[in-house]
Amino acid sequence: MNTAYKHLETRLRIGELTIGQWAGIVLGVAIGVTWGMYVSPFGPYLSLFSAIYVGGAPAMAAWVASQADFDLWQHLAAAVRWRRGSQIFLPGAGSTATGYAVVAAPARAASTAVAPDLDVEALWNSH
């Protein structure tokens, strides 16, 4: 079977990287250059060293997110929904809990009906 060149279910990839990964790389390079050239208070060697690590953080985050089955935006949205939800309960019984009331089972009326006798052989052999 020949696989199709593109599928509707797959994400758009450019050079084997998704758009989010490319955005992480571009953002990382921009942060690294900004840190190394304008913001860093250190000397040239320490600035170069730290700019590589500071600039590589977004690209590393994009790579880790692509390798794991984890969606950061869905996770953050779920956390915000839970936090804003009105159904947040503290652990414990609370002040209005009354517990369960245990009562005796009601007495059953004496049954006078008798179960009919079943002919199992007739049931098994019937056509």
**Cα distance between residue 125 and residue 120, in whole Å:** 9
Question: What percentage of the chain exceeds 70 in pLDDT?
Answer: 73
Statement: residue 93 has pLDDT above 80:
no
Length of the chain: 127
27 close to 58: Cβ distance less than 8 angstroms: yes
Q: Is residue 34 part of a domain?
A: yes
Instruction: Show the domain range for 22.
Output: 17-68
Determine the Cα–Cα distance for residues 89 and 100; give it in Å rounded to an integer.
20
Instruction: Give pLDDT tens digits for 30-70.
Output: 888 888 888 888 888 888 888 888 888 877 777 777 677 77
In this predicted structure, what is the pLDDT of residue 48? 84
How many structural domains compose the chain?
1
Would 12 be classed as within a structural domain?
no
- 22 within a domain of the structure (yes/no): yes
- The pLDDT score that the predictor gives to residue 77 is 92
Residue 12: pLDDT band (50, 70, 90) is confident
Q: Does pTM top 0.75 for this prediction?
A: no
On whether the CB atoms of residues 54 and 35 are closer than 8 A, the answer is: yes
Whether 5 is in a domain gets the answer no
Q: Is residue 38 part of a domain?
A: yes
Q: Where are the alpha helices (DSSP H) in 1-127?
A: 19-34, 44-67, 72-84, 120-125
Taking residues 115-121, report their average pLDDT: 75
User: Who wins on pLDDT, 78 or 124?
Assistant: 78
Q: Distance between CA atoms of 23 and 19, rounded to whole angstroms? A: 6
